[in-house]
Structure 1
């Protein structure tokens, strides 16, 4: 029997944070789509002793990819966030500030047809985020779920605005494949 070598890498997700009812508890949620069925996603608290705590969006990736997309949703609940108005999550795209909202502020989710009717689109770019800008950009309806090899680069906006963003900000060069696109984590991160 062979031992699998599982790598711990920074992943990508869409984040939201909400106060739970009228309590002092906050729920941080990360949602996305893993490119391989046997990958797992997890929010992990960073070692800095700050309030509120900082988090890493981590993917655990074995050597072999079972090719099938898998949606994920992971949440953590924390208390005593010290009156903070936002949380910080570090992922493959860098640092993300996630505003803490009240449950009553939850936006109603829309289906694909209503997104098309409202002309709401977003630009997603391939991970890793390059020093020269975004690459591998795609324009999709705002409510469409995309694989975790992409991060949100722009939007929501009109299709025309998204296309203009791609033309101005996205590198069209092709990068070599075959490697995990997310940055590796060390024990210090």
Structure 2
């Protein structure tokens, strides 16, 4: 039996950086697919502009094989215009990804990232979860914003809200506890 495969917009976390001292830019998309038989791909949009814009697409068969699968998609493109950002379109909308120097060391001030649940609302976010900054979430979530201290402002911006470790993130929570970055394991808001 053959599955019909549809193409839908997915979601991921994105980063872009210059390749050495050239006019090339590398765009990286990382995320989690909700089914092990789904595939992810960055596809160039048809507009003839520089730098090109991209769609984050998932190829979705009729059946879902239970099991999460992580993905990392990379594309390299010319950016002779010197634009400071690359545009990516996904299920959460259009994102302008800043292009960083490859040798830049990111100073991570975000301990947590707040993810909203798709579909994205016009105002505010819904179904939010708070995840350690280096954690993964399933493809039904999009990055809403990052925080140093999530408990202080998230209640007013997301409804309902839970402070929970994401899939396969319990070791990261333990790491944060060991480093004293958080005082106690994440708990649901009441």
- TM-score when scaled to structure 1? 0.79
1:182 match: none
Residue 74 of structure 2 corresponds to 75
Number of the residue aligned with 1:143: 134
Check if 1:158 corresponds to 2:149.
Answer: yes
Shift of 1:128: 1.2
Taking the aligned partners of 1:34 and 1:83, their CA distance within structure 2 comes to 33
Deviations 1:115-139 (A, max 9, x none): xxx8811111111102343111111
**CA offsets, 1:89-115, max 9 Å, x none?**
001110100011111114378xxxxxx
- 1:119-165 superposed Cα distances (whole Å, 9 cap, x missing partner): 8111111111023431111111111111111111121321323xx32
User: 2:103 aligns to what SS in structure 1?
Assistant: helix
- Provide the C-alpha distance between the structure 2 equivalents of 1:100 and 1:71, rounded to a whole number of angstroms: 24
For residues 1-189 of structure 1, the aligned pairs below 5 Å read 2-107=1-106, 120-161=111-152, 164-165=153-154, 167-172=155-160
Shift of 1:22: 1.1
| Greater relative CO (CA pairs within 8 A, separation 6+) | 1
Gap regions ≥5 residues in structure 2: 162-190
CA pair 99-132 structure 1, distance change in 2 beyond 3 A: closer
Q: Distance in 1 between matches of 2:98 and 2:30?
A: 16
Which secondary structure state, in structure 1, belongs to the residue aligned with residue 52 of structure 2? coil
Alpha-carbon distance change, 155 to 80 in structure 1, aligned in 2, over 3 angstroms:
closer
Shift of the 81–56 alpha-carbon distance from structure 1 to 2, 3 Å rule, reads farther
Moved over 6 A (4+): none
Contact 1:125/1:134 (8 A) holds in 2: yes
